[in-house]
Amino acid sequence: MAESPLPYTAVLCDLDGTIVDSAPGITATLAYTFERLGLPVPTPAELLAWVGPPILDSFRDLAGFDLEQSQRALDIYRPRYLSAGAYDASLYPGMAEVLHAIGRAGIPLSLATSKPETPARAVLEHFSLADAFDELTGASDDELRSAKKDVVEEALRRLEEAGADLSRPVLIGDRHHDVEGAAHHGVPTIFVTWGYGAPAEGAGAVAVVDAPADLLPLLGLDASE
C-alpha cells in the first residue's frame, strides 16, 4: 500500500465543544436534575464546567455525589436529555464543511466523545452529520466506557478492524481530557479554542486553532476538495 501524502491517516473528533455547542441542552438538563433531587442548582458558570467530561465523573468530582447518588442523578438526567436536551445545541459554523472535506479526501473518520453513543448519534443525526463518520464511537450507554482514553482506544480498535491506516492518527478536541486521553495512546491532538476548554488546557497539543477552517491546512485539505 502506498503511503498517504496527507499528514494524518485517520482522524478522531470530539463532539461537545468541537462539532456542536451543546452547553445549553446539557446545563438545562443538569439544572432540571438538581431541582428534581431537591438540591440547589449551581450557577450557569458552574454548570459549564460539566460540559465535556464524563457525566458520572462530574457527579462525583463537581457535585460530590457517591455512587448511589450519582446513579439516581443519572436516572433523572438521561431520559430528560435524550428527549429534549440533546437537541438544544447548535453546530459550530464551518465544522460540517471540515467533516465533509475529510470524507471527500478518503481519510477514515471516527467520532470520539465521552457522551454515550445513543445521544451522540441523535445529535449528529439531528444535524445530518452521522453519515460523515466511518465510526460513531462514544461512551458506552452504561457509562462503563467513558474516560477519554478508553473512548480513543475503542475508536482506534474500530477503525483498525475496518482496515484504516493508523500509522498517523490525530484527534481534534477542546478539553484537556482530549489531549491527555489521546496522548495515552500516542495520538497527537489538535486543540480548538471555540469550545469549553481554557487556553491552558491545550498544553501538549500538536497545534491550536481558532476557527474550523484553520483545521483544513493542518489536515492537508482545502474546502474545495
pLDDT, tens digit, 9 for 90 and up, residues 130-160? 999 999 999 988 777 789 999 999 999 999 9
pLDDT mean over 164-190? 97
Higher pLDDT, 5 or 108: 108
Pairwise CA distance, residues 190 & 141, whole Å: 27
Looking at residue 2, its pLDDT comes to 57
Q: Which residue has the cell 474500530?
A: 158
Helix (H), strand (E) at residue 110: strand 109-116
Complete domains list, the chain, with CATH: 10-21+90-218 (3.40.50.1000), 23-87 (1.10.150.240)
Owner of C-alpha cell 457535585: 63
Q: What is the chain's length?
A: 225
Distance between CA atoms of 113 and 36, rounded to whole angstroms?
27
pTM for the whole structure: 0.91
- 5's grid cell: 501524502
Q: Which positions are catalytic?
A: 14
Closest CA to 191 of 150, 183, 138: 183
What are residue 109's DSSP bridge partners?
Answer: 11
> pLDDT digits over 121-135, tens only?
999 999 999 999 999
Give residue 79's identity as a one-letter amino acid code.
P
Identify the three-state secondary structure at position 119.
helix
Q: What percent of the chain has pLDDT over 90?
A: 87
What pLDDT score was predicted for residue 143?
Answer: 75
Mean pLDDT in the chain? 94
Q: What is the pLDDT of residues 58-88, one digit of tens each?
A: 999 999 999 999 999 999 999 999 999 999 9
